[in-house]
Structure 1
């Protein structure tokens, strides 16, 4: 899959540097979405599971 540089190039043609800002914003949004999804599908459930194991071990039966 070849990357397309046409859209940022057109933005940079209109205003110098705008293409780089558009690419940076897209990278920021995609990275934030991936980080959010990974945190809520891997990190948080593991933390809840670990807390349940700890609580079950330390609570009186």
Structure 2
């Protein structure tokens, strides 16, 4: 039985992409790590863009089907 809601969202709060990974969405987790990390690094000075990426990551971990 795969975790479906709370645990993946909670894990994604601390490690972006981990919630998607434990749900079995390996490609999505990798893209969050690679693209989210790169975009977050390049646009860290904006503060808003990395926060939006992080918030979307938590929302997706909670709402995507298992």
Q: What TM-score, normalized by structure 2, do the two folds share? A: 0.32
**Structure possessing the higher radius of gyration over alpha carbons:** 1
Q: What TM-score, normalized by structure 1, do the two folds share? A: 0.34
